[in-house]
Amino acid sequence: MGSFPPFGFAGTREETDLLRPKLCAPWKSMHMLVFVKWSCFKKFPARSIAINGRHLGIVTEALGQNLLKSIISSPKGLPLSQVRSISKQVLQGLEALHSYGIMHTDIKPENVLLELSERDIREMMKKYGVTDKAAESAVLGTEAFGDAPQQIGVKIADFSNAFELSKPCEGKIQTRQYRALEVIIGAKYGPPADMWSVACMIFELATGEYLFNPEKGPGYPMEDHHLALIAQTLGSIRPEIYKQGTYWQEFFEKGTSRLKFVNLEPSKTIVEHFPASWKYKESRPLANFLKKMLVYNTNERATARDALEDRWLKED
């Protein structure tokens, strides 16, 4: 579930405690991973736990591959109709998650899984030799899925780094390419950081490329290049924004919007990042949609509910 040894047991237990009251049957239409049950495998015979020792097992609905594999198989991006459908479902999931006072903190293609049809699941059970009738009934009897969906269906998964908003938020979160500005500069963060990640992911689904892919260079840190890429695309990061962070003096020249080590000409808008073959009517609405989730001021950044009302999601 995304935890790393030696903290795997504790991390998985925390994830379970966080989600157990929430990721249950009513969430099946919220595009969130459906939580079935958990069990600590200490009641099983010794031979059952000899390899990995005692551990916590989490049972969820059966789901397919993650979206990263879909991107790899479609290096120039997915059809925009699919991107639109996926975007809407992920935003619906985040709206539900945020309404429960939980922040995901690691939205990215790897953590969004495809739904499976009943036929897919039967084939998977056959592949892995699951012939037990009780097991088949348990899997196919869940309401997490039914007949083959008419269009692509997805669920947000991997809540190993999620946390309740009622608790202090500390430290770095998010995978680098999807990391929000406020996290990079060490400012206070919350659900708006998830929205930044969603925008980066949607761009990647549509183009097959990262929106921001920083690299470490001679004499400058990767974070500085990341900030430079952001400023190049979205505009200068003004002092009233970056001074909210505890690390700003490491990156910015005092009183200016200039970075200490890397400065790129602000010459590449989001539209200019899209393939040259795209028509204006395809690129402009999507760019406007993404920009609302990439606003520097977190109080002005679109929420999941706001984004769901955007015209781009309502296009046919």
Q: Which residues are catalytic?
A: 106
Instruction: Give me the torsion for CA of 111, 117, 118, 121, rounded to 10°.
Output: -40
Continuous H helices in 154-254: 181-184, 191-207, 222-234, 239-242, 248-251
The strand pairing partners of 113, in sequence order, are 66, 155
Whole-angstrom distance, CA of residue 88 vs CA of residue 314? 9
For residue 236, the SS3 value is coil
For residue 163, what is the enclosing H or E element? strand 163-164
Q: How far apart are CA 237 and CA 259, in angstroms?
A: 9
Q: Are 68 and 126 in contact (CB under 8 A)?
A: no
Calpha distance 168→52 (Å, rounded): 33
